[in-house]
Every structure is written in structure tokens, then in C-alpha cells.
Structure 1
Amino acid sequence: MAMRYCALLVICLTSDFAAGNLISQNNTFNSTFRLTPAQIAATNLTNATVQNVEIALRFERSNNAGYLIQDDPFYHVPASYNSQDPPPPGTILKVEEHTNLTLYTIPNSISMSRFLYVSETFNGSSVPASAYVLVKISASAQPIEDYANNATNLTACKDGNASTGPLYPTIGLCHGTSGQTQACAPSGLRSLWDDFHEPFALALAGYAVVAPDYVGLGVPNITSPYFILPSQANDLYHSVAAAQSHWPGMLSKEFVIAGQSQGGAVAWAAAQRQHQRPVEGYLGTMAASPFTDVIADIVADNAAENNARVAGIAQGLDTVLPDFSISDWLTPLGVARWNLVQEIKGCGTTGGQLSAAEGGTLQILKDGWNETWAADWYRNNTMNGGKAFAGPMLVIQGTQDPNANEPVTSKSVNETCVLYPDSQLEYIRWENITHVPVLYAAQHLWLDWIKDRFDGVAATEGCSVETKSPPRGVNGVQFAGFNDNTWFIEYDVYGI
């Protein structure tokens, strides 16, 4: 059943305020999900885990924008789409020009569109996917030659036609892990998953943000090739191309790639793809907290929450390797738990609860999973670092990151710089900073770096490594732990 609970909540509470009755904001979740006895028995869940999973899924569903993503008709591919003879990658399939922003928690002055387009799998076949575009009411400044070289846009600007001008400098944004099922598409989440970490910050700075959901998130009946990084790099390029083709008078042909966490890994993979398959207009890549050697990061962390990442990667491998099955890496219990994630369409929080295995007392992963032939294939085909890439590239990394491990990232940077010393790689480590907060610690720097790319400022030649420390020491500096926010985004239901 389609759920429009968010809009209903706003209307009711605003009505109360108009009558002069201030009431507290809702502190419960707009979902009544319950696991069935059969689901609980099939996955050997304790009462505590049942409670945690139910709360996690209610939380996730409450973050949906108006509809549950799996019920939102926007994600249905047009009937004219022929999967046996699909259009080429980069083709637009459907456009929602003006997304209903009353269902989202997006900053004022920003508009949003969603679209479906054709992407490309790891093995080269066409596949439908979803994405969104954010633009501010005004673009950041563009060099005058950008307008002079675009006759359509120049005429539109002279005529005052805001629908086709001015050009917005384009960012291809790769999001961090939201989950591995259809229900986890950032374009259908109220704060677009990464909110002020990246998409809001970039849009407010005057950029056009083009952000793919990644194949398997949003559009139904497609398995997510989770963390098969070249696949997500394809999503990035083809979503940008599709958006540029549909809004040629609004989006610049020049673009910068950016991303953090899984998105940082995708951004680095996209820079490697650009070296092999150059795309016109590419200006550079910013990769924050990037996974480089993913299995090394997981083994170094050795935390129970990595069970969900490994299961997700196994799901991804199942989409590209005909001789691999998820059961090659997961125990029967692990397979049953992961099947339940798919059945109830859980995302990152729910998957983490189901994969934690009651604090490690139950085994989710098979011993030696990371020493199998499939693990070797995965390393060889998804590794970031030690490979040629198209620069310039800025890599930022927190030294206390327990997820994308700093020693692993530094090793990958060093290997790349030894092999490709002229590759224009700028690496900056931030002391005492963890996974997501590195985006806040370095925000001024990466925004300035991106602006330089569009302004035509020459990037530093060769490789450079720098470490930044808090000038006042760590005392008095906000450190909020791994996932790092001391706040969350909620509706202002009173309009005050």
C-alpha cells in the first residue's frame, strides 16, 4: 500500500499550531512493521534482535518521501522499455521535472528533479536505473566563455528565460552506502541520504548535483551489484550524460566527480574508468574516505557490522560471476538472514541488525571467505589504487576512520604514486577525524578545490601528501564518534 504519512503528519500538526496549541514533534516512527513468526523462526532471531530489526525497519521506512520507495510509481520503468533490445546507456527513460518537495527535507532555494535512465552493468549490458538532480535558484559564477560557447544558453540568458539558463557547473555525486535493496534509493529518501554532508552543501554552493541511486536501488526487480565499483562508476557517467542531454541549457558539459565512503570508492573507480574510457568534459575527482582495497578494510576493522558489507558484496558478485553463489561466503544462517533483508526490503540499519548475529555468538560468514577464488577476483577487478587514473584527484581521509581504514588508503595512495608519479594526486589526512566528519573538517578545502577545476586553475603536478591537525588540539573540538552526527533532519512542522 502506498504510504503518504509524511504529508499527513505535516498538515495535522500545522493545523494544531494555527489553533495556538504547540505540541512536541513526533518521536515515534510512522510505521507499524512487525516480523512474522515464520520469519523469526527461519532466521533464528532472539527477542532482542526481533525488537532491533523491527525498530530499524520502522526508522528506515519513516525516512521515505511520501511513498515507500517500493510503492512509488516513479520507479516503474515505462512500458515502452524493451529489455531484450534496450536503448544505449545514457538514454533518458522518464523525467519528473518538479519533484514534490513538501515530502522532502531539502533546504530552501533548491529545486529537485528525478529521472530514470539507462545504465551499464559490469558485463556491459544495458539496465534501467534512477537518479536525481538538485539545482539552486541561482548558479555559481561561470567563466564568460562558457556562455559564449553555448549559443542556445546565451540567447536564453539574453531573453531572461530562466528555464534554459544559466549554466550550472555539474557535479556527478556518488553516494555512500544506503543499503542493497530497492528500498534504499537516496532519491526517495527525505534528506537524500547524504544531506548536508555533500548534496546540500554542493547545491547551496551553486552546483548542479547529478546523483545516481546505483542500479538495483529504486527501479524494481534488479539485484544491486553492491560494491562492484566499476558498475557504480558506470552509473555515475551514464546518469551525468543522461541529465546533460535532457537539460543542455542548464547543466554544463564540464563536470567534476565527488563522493564519500562507498561513494569515495566509486569516485576513485570512476577516475580509473576515465583513464580507460575518456569522457569529454571531465575535470577531476574528489574522493573522501574512499574504500580502496575493500577486503583489506573489512579484515582490518574486524567488526560484526562488516558482516552486512560482506553479504552485500557477495550479493554483488552473484550478479557478475556465473560460478559464484552467495552461499560460498555465507553460512546457511547468514543466507537466511540476508534473504530476510531482501524480503522485507531492509536497508543499511536493518541489514546491520540482521547481520550482527547477536553480538557474534552466531556465525554469519564462512571461515576463509576472504581467501577464496571469488575474493581474489574481487580484489583484482575492483581495487582502487596501483592503477592509472585520470587526474587531477583529491583524496581526503580521517586518521581515526574505522571503516575506510587510513593505513589501507595510505598504502593505496603510495602504491599509485610510486607507479604513476606524474598522476596529479593530492592526498590530505586529517588527524583525529573519523569517517563522515572528514567532509566537515575539509569542507572549505574540497569546495575550493572543485571551484578551481571549473575556474580552470591548474592542479598541482605529481603526487603530494599532507597531514592536517587541529590547531587548538583535540580538546574542545566536536568529535561525535563513527557516524558522527550530533543532529538529524526533521520537519519544521510549525513554520517558525
Structure 2
Amino acid sequence: MHVRTAALTAVAALTLSLGPNGPGQGGAARTAGRPGDLVGVAPTAFRPLPRAPTATRAWHIEYRSTTAKGAPNTVSGTVIVPADGRTGPRPLITYAVGTVGLADGCAPSAGFPRGTTAEANLIHLLTLRGWAVVVTDYEGLGTPGVHTYTVGPAEGRAVLDAARAAERLPGAGLTRRTPVGIMGYSQGGQAAGWAAELHRDYAPELNVKGTAAGGVPADLLKVAAHNHGRTGAGLVLMSAIGQNAAYPELRLDAYLNERGRRYVDFMKHNCVAIDTVAGLFHEMSEVTVRDPLRRPDWRRALHASDLGTRAPDRPVYLYHGTADRLIPYAVGARLRADWCARRAAVSWRPVPLGEHVIGAIAGAVPAADWLADRFDGKRVRGDC
């Protein structure tokens, strides 16, 4: 009881000192400080399902991070720690969720208290191992601005800075020596992959032991080409919205027809499941007056989110469904080849006959088992 009371007192003091909207007024004040510094903290709850409490303590956080262009920003997220009486060190997973939508209400932190966040059950399995978990909401999803969906550099920094913020959170019981694992699937797999590639230069002080990434859209132009004329075209438009949020000079609105503008407005103000977005239309020509993905500036922006151009400095567990209809298996296999060519330690695991959602579910426990081995100090050579 004494430890819990002290923790709650520390959190309350931090919440009062920072305030719900950070120190002072205006964007400059909200983004002052180092990446990973806490801007705001408030107690919250973590529920994997509606009215399903867990033996955890949770905090909603706002923390300093960095945009794709290198500017400071503020990102929100949730820190979850098992209430198991453990006082010694425990591992931390910095977890990146897959596609949830573009509206602030879609943020994982918004759904955790209600038990409506899609991947909360997978996250709960991690807490049952005694691990702490921090879940980023990404840039613009839970904080001002449009969510920079599929913008790899911004996502990777948000994931790494979430771990920094969790380690700096009073009462969480985490320190700079905390062993850290990075985990994510689909959009989250892209974010996890970017965090793995950025770790050496952006957050080398984090004690990262390994990264588990699945269903990774490592090459957005190849993913877009695969979905041309198919039901995944709506996700391509979502990606275009995210790229335009990071790089406003792309001027997405200049390429949209009236139908496209309606869809963009709908996506920005709603939480949309993958199957909903995927069924909106089949070709970009249905929502544009000209295809932005053929323009050099758009292609450069999308290529700026390519993975595989540098080697992660810690081992990686990479998995992909062989029957994935949204993100082709060949894209994941190419990422494995690119990382292997750069001498990264990659453990490659195809999910037989797995389509996109099945890959997420079937691959989650083996990925967590692999991370557990890294936390236990077991050596891994990879299978390049």
C-alpha cells in the first residue's frame, strides 16, 4: 500500500505541475524539452474488453517527440504496468498498433478505458507475462493535427520516445536500465521497423533487446500498386492523407474530386476498421482528377518511408502471412532480404496461409515468446 500511495501521489503532483495541456500555453511550450520528456500525465484504466478490469495500473501520457521533418511535437499514449506487487526491474514493451483510423477518438488511449481498442487483448497477454507496456497514439492521433498515417520516420520516433517517456514516468517503476522490446503489426509493424532502424542514432540510450514486427508495409509504393483495382485502394487514400499531413506541400486536395473530398472528410472524423475502408472504392481514379502517386514529389515522400535502407542494431523477429491480400508477402520477404544484406540479425517466420488479420493473431504469441528469449539473454543469430 505504501508503494502504491507514493506512486499515486507522485503522479498527482506531476499532473498538477504539467497540467492537462502541458506547461504554459501554445505549441512552443508544449514541445519544449528533450524527446521523451513528459508533457502531461493523468491516471487512466486499461481494459481489453468493455467492463473487463485488469490487474494493472495505467497512465495517459503526453510526451515530446519529433516529426518526419525533425521538428518537435507532442504525442499521446498510455503506460500500462501490472499491479502484481513486483518491485524489482521488469521488461518494457513499446507497442505500436495497426490501423485504427484518423480521428482522435480512434487513438488507442481513448479506447483503453472503455475496452474498445482492437489490439487490447494482445497487449493484455503481454501484461500477463509481467511486462510493462507503453502504447503510442502516434502523431496527430489524440493530439492536435491530422494523424501522419504510414509516415515511417514520425511513427518510429513516436515509438522510441514512448519508451523514453515510460521510463521517466514517476511511479511506473522503470529506469534507463529497463530492458526494452519493440513490437507492432501492420501499420504498427512499419512503426516498429522504423524504431528498430532509428534506435542507434535517435535513442541509443534505450536498452533495446529486440524488435518483433509483422505484416510490415515496408514499401508503400509497392503496396499501393498491389491494391490498385482492389479493395485495399481506400487504405491507399488513407496513406495519402497521412503523407499530406506530414508534408503539406504535397497538396493532396488539388488531386481530389468531389467524391474524394467527401471520403477524406469522412476518414478524418471517424474511426474506420480496415474492412470498412477497404470497401469504399477500388481505384484511385474514382476519387481523384489525377493520380498523385505518379508525381515525383509524392513518390519521393512515399519512398522516404521505405524500410530496409539501414540495418537495425538489435535482433529482429519478422513475420508475414503468406496469403496477405493487403500487404503482399513479397514486400515482407524483400524487407528480410534487405536487412539480411546489411548483416542484421533477422529471424524470419512466414505465417502459412495467413491473410492480414490472421497473421496478426497467429503471429502475436510466437513474437512475444521470441522477445521473452531476448529478455532472458538468450543469443540469437538469425536465419539470413
TM over 0.5: same fold? Answer: yes
1:333-369 Cα offsets, whole Å, 9 max, x none, are 2023312433xx2122499459714x77981145543
For 1:333-344, list aligned pairs within 5 A. Answer: 333-342=259-268
The answer to whether structure 1 residue 168 and structure 2 residue 90 are counterparts is: yes
Cα offset for 1:100?
7.9
| Change in 2 beyond 3 A, CA 1:191/1:260 | farther
- Give 2:256's aligned amino acid: L
Q: Could you tell me which residue of structure 1 aligns to residue 307 of structure 2?
A: 384
**2:32 paired with 1:87:** yes
SS across alignment from 1:348? coil
Alpha-carbon distance, 1:332 to partner: 3.5
Instruction: Name the amino acid aligned to 1:168.
Output: R
Report Cα offsets for 1:235-294 as digits up to 9, x if no partner. Answer: 111111111111476125220100001000110111111133342211111001111112
CA distance in 2, matches of 1:347, 1:381: 26
Bigger drift between 305-314 and 451-460 goes to: 305-314
1:366-385 matched pairs, under 5 angstroms: 366-385=289-308
**Residue correspondence of structure 1 range 70-149 to structure 2 within 5 A:** 77-78=21-22, 80-85=24-29, 86-88=31-33, 89-99=35-45, 104-106=50-52, 108-138=54-84
Supply the AA of the counterpart residue of 1:271. Answer: A
CA RMSD of aligned residues (A): 2.9
Determine the C-alpha separation between the residues in 2 that align with 1:246 and 1:82: 23
* 2:220 corresponds to 1:299: no
Give SS of 1:395's match.
strand
CA contact (8 A) 1:77 1:128 kept: no
Instruction: Tell me, in whole angstroms, the C-alpha distance in 1 between the residues paired with 2:302 and 2:160.
Output: 23
C-alpha distance in 2 between matches for 1:234 and 1:201: 25
Match of 2:333 among 410, 423, 429: 410
In structure 2, the partner of 1:250 is 173
> How far apart, in 2, do the equivalents of 1:209 and 1:303 lie?
39
Structure-2 residue corresponding to 1:314 = 240
Q: 1:351 to 1:183 in 2, by over 3 A?
A: farther
**What's the CA shift for 1:119?**
1.8
AA aligned to 1:391 is R
SS at match of 1:335: helix
- Within a 5 Å distance, the mapping from 1:32-51 to structure 2 comes to none
Which deviations, in whole Å up to 9, do the C-alpha atoms of 1:11-33 show, x marking residues without a partner? xxxxxxxxxxxxxxxxxxxxxxx
Query: Is 1:208 the counterpart of 2:154 in the alignment?
Result: no
- Which has the higher Rg, Structure 1 or Structure 2? 1
- Counterpart of 2:337 in structure 1: which amino acid? N
Distance in 1 separating the partners of 2:60 and 2:334: 38
What is the identity, as a one-letter code, of the residue corresponding to 1:401? D
Match of 1:452 among 328, 348, 373: 373
In 1: Cα distance, 2:115 partner to 2:92 partner:
20
After TM superposition, give the deviation of residue 193 of structure 1 in Å: 2.3
**Pair 1:393 & 2:338 matched:** no
Partner of 1:217: 141
Say if 2:78 and 2:135, in contact at 8 Å, map to a contact too. Answer: yes
Matched, 1:180 2:102: yes
Q: Structure 2: which amino acid aligns with 1:116? A: E
Contact 1:337 1:355 (C-alpha < 8 Å) held by counterparts:
no
Helix, strand or coil: the match of 1:183? helix
Aligned-residue offset at 1:101: 5.8
- Say yes or no: does 1:274 pair with 2:199: yes
Q: Output one character per residue of 1:155-194: Cα deviation in whole Å (capped at 9) or x when no partner.
A: xxxxxxx5x8233210000010111122211111133523
Displacement of 1:123 after TM fit? Answer: 1.5
What's the CA shift for 1:319?
Answer: 3.0
What is the rounded CA distance, in whole Å, between the counterparts of 1:203 and 1:365 in structure 2?
45
CA contact (8 A) 2:156 2:198 kept: yes
Aligned-partner Cα distance in 2 for 1:97–1:130: 13
Q: Distance in 2 between matches of 1:292 and 1:354?
A: 19
Q: Which letter maps to 1:442? A: G
State the distance in 2 between where 1:174 and 1:397 align: 16
Offset at residue 388 of structure 1 (A): 2.2
Report the equivalent of 1:288: 214
How many correspondences in the alignment? Answer: 360
Secondary structure, aligned partner of 2:101:
coil
SS at match of 2:168: helix
Q: What TM-score results when the alignment is normalised by the length of structure 1?
A: 0.66
> Which residue does the alignment assign to 1:263?
188
Q: Report the CA distance between 1:109 and its aligned residue.
A: 2.1
Cα gap change, 1:320 to 1:361, in 2 (>3 Å): closer
Instruction: Provide the secondary structure at the position in 2 that maps to 1:460.
Output: coil
Q: Report if the CA contact (8 A) 1:174-1:267 is conserved.
A: yes
Structure 1 Cα separation of the partners of residues 277 and 288 of structure 2: 15
Percent of matched pairs sharing the same residue: 21
Question: Amino acid of the residue matched to residue 187 of structure 1?
Answer: S
Check whether the contact 2:61–2:77 (CA below 8 A) recurs between aligned residues. Answer: yes
CA distance in 2, matches of 1:274, 1:254: 14
Sort the Cα spacing of 1:380 and 1:106 in 2 relative to 1 into closer, same or farther, 3 A.
Answer: same
Q: Which runs of 5+ in 2 are unaligned?
A: 1-18
Residue 128 of structure 1 deviates from its aligned partner by 1.8
SS of residue in 2 equivalent to 1:319: helix
Contact conserved, 2:181 with 2:209, CA < 8 A, in 1?
A: yes
Unaligned runs of 5+ in 1: 1-74, 139-161, 465-496
Query: AA paired with 1:409?
Result: G
From 139, 159, 162, the counterpart of 1:236: 159
Find the aligned partners of 2:48 and 2:379 in 1 and give their Cα distance. 42
Bigger shift: 319-328 or 171-180? 319-328
Q: Distance in 2 between matches of 1:191 and 1:337?
A: 28
CA distance in 2, matches of 1:165, 1:370: 52
Tell whether the 8 Å contact from 1:275 to 1:388 is kept in structure 2 after alignment. Answer: no
